[in-house]
Structure 1
């Protein structure tokens, strides 16, 4: 994968990641009526663990080298999968509008760029900052037409803040401490650790009742194969080969694309502000991706 041509890293792989990541709402929308959120995530992650474990053993993939590497890999997984997914699913399940959640989580690229300097030594150029701010403004414009319905409470806002910090710190932690971890074995470690933690929380806080339907089975299959294996694998691959702020900017494309998918698949309204916001987001992401990286300070 390291020998892929430049166009693959700059266009094909980021595009594939955004497309796959944006389909997460399909699984959540189909599955949550039949299963509680933490139970849903625990089952999903444990299924993904089993799948990646089989793949890793059949392909004889290398495992993280020693207890310290395994611990770092598990912590990155707990942040990205446990805090982010758990926080988002819990907030939406408790009635918070999906649009409110999306806007708050969309702060992730800006927060990542702010922390990438002190934590990773990366410098963000003025053009990249402009692109990041444009991207957030575009996301807010897209989501502004979708804020009807749902409520927000101190608990759901706190849950969303946990999700925001989880995906931000998890991205930076993966870049800093797990830069060369094999995606197959590393993914199995991360999913196993996070599935165990969320499963324990689910047993403590939820009833564990599951209504098995065709929609739920499809949702689980979709989230395991497309999201947990496909999108997450591409995310960590991009993190290994690019600056954290550049990779984070791709998350701006997911909410607008999700709105477009909702219009196409579920006949949801697509307001003019959403179309305008999508254009602004694309311009912002292009600015971030095309800007020349700033060299680190000497000394």
Structure 2
């Protein structure tokens, strides 16, 4: 139908840079939402109900697509979604819950562009231009400067420091799987989001049960945490992530997220009155230079 077709291609009329800017803002909101929610409920309980809310809201809009999709397509998209959401969030959040400092966990998660580039080279024999590697390295240096004030070595067990790294690798694998899977895109964005939240909620439910119960907390803070992370971090964050991936390379999409730590600190300054520093400004500028080099060598694609 014409209306459904228009809904599927609306994002093609928006400049890619504007979509990427929205991605950075929405993606960084997840760290703020997680920080806010910790004061009101266990972290895994919030992400579980966040997925449940998204599934309930999206179901009327995707039910027909899900019924028409083949079992192979559903399984493929479910696997991609589980790695992208459950694998990534569980690794980062559980690492923090076990004592890994939030700044260090975020830095390990921000290794995504490097991890993705290495995996692409190993799995798909993709050779990146030297400017891309230089840009990724410069961008990472900027991230280190931005987060330097928040970096610390906690008292978590040694193996727990590998959880954020595993979470990052899980998202990297999901991204490359999605990009190189021709059938996954035909399911549709909203159906993909519904499916990834559905399968991820199972993993989050098991982790939440280990922390206590699946019963929602009767508090305003808990409700705000669920709605914040469901609307901005999940629907907008992951939605824009997959849209940008359709229109550009995985390396470019991941490199843009180098700006998320700086935007996260801006969120924290606006919402929690946390101080800003000159290192943050310097690191943001350096990351911007690195991202610019990646954008020059990893142009947008229009194959999909």
The one-character-per-residue Cα deviations of 1:28-69 (angstroms, maximum 9, x if unpaired) are 122122222222221111111111112324xx5466731111
Aligned match of 2:212: 207
Name which of structure 1's ranges 125-134 and 207-216 shifts more when overlaid on structure 2: 207-216
What is the 5 A alignment of 1:241-252? 241-252=247-258
Moved more, 113-122 or 99-108: 113-122
TM-score of the aligned structures, taking structure 1 as reference length: 0.89
Partner of 1:297: none
User: Per the alignment, do residues 192 and 286 of structure 1 end up closer, same or farther by CA in structure 2, a change over 3 Å counting?
Assistant: same
Q: Assess if the C-alpha contact under 8 Å between 1:48 and 1:229 holds in 2.
A: yes
Pairs within 5 Å for 1:69-108: 69-108=73-112
Task: Report the CA distance shift for 1:4/1:148 in structure 2 as closer, same or farther (over 3 A).
Answer: closer
Structure 1 stretches of 4+ moved >4 Å? 1-6, 60-64
Q: Is residue 146 from structure 1 mapped to residue 150 from structure 2 by the alignment?
A: yes
Structure 2 length-normalised TM: 0.88
Q: Which residue of 2 aligns with 1:296?
A: none
Distance 2:40 2:259 in 1: 29
The verdict on how the C-alpha distance between 1:261 and 1:151 changes in structure 2, with shifts beyond 3 A counting, is farther
- State whether structure 2 residue 45 is matched by structure 1 residue 39: yes
Question: Pick from 216, 227, 230: which aligns with 2:222?
Answer: 216
Retained in 1: the 8 A contact 2:90–2:167?
Answer: yes
Q: In structure 2, what is the Cα distance between the partners aligned to 1:9 and 1:123?
A: 27
Give 1:132 deviation, angstroms.
0.6
Counterpart for residue 16 of structure 2: 10
RMSD: 2.3
From 45, 54, 59, the equivalent of 2:60 is 54
Task: Quote the offset at 1:95 in angstroms.
Answer: 2.5
- The CA deviation at 1:200 is 2.5
CA offset at residue 159 of structure 1? 1.6
* Corresponding position: 1:192 with 2:198: yes
* Whole-angstrom distance in 2 between the partners of 1:38 and 1:139: 27
Tell me how far apart the structure 1 counterparts of residues 273 and 141 of structure 2 sit (CA, whole Å).
Answer: 25
Out of 52, 67, 91, the position equivalent to 2:71 is 67
Moved more, 145-154 or 127-136: 145-154
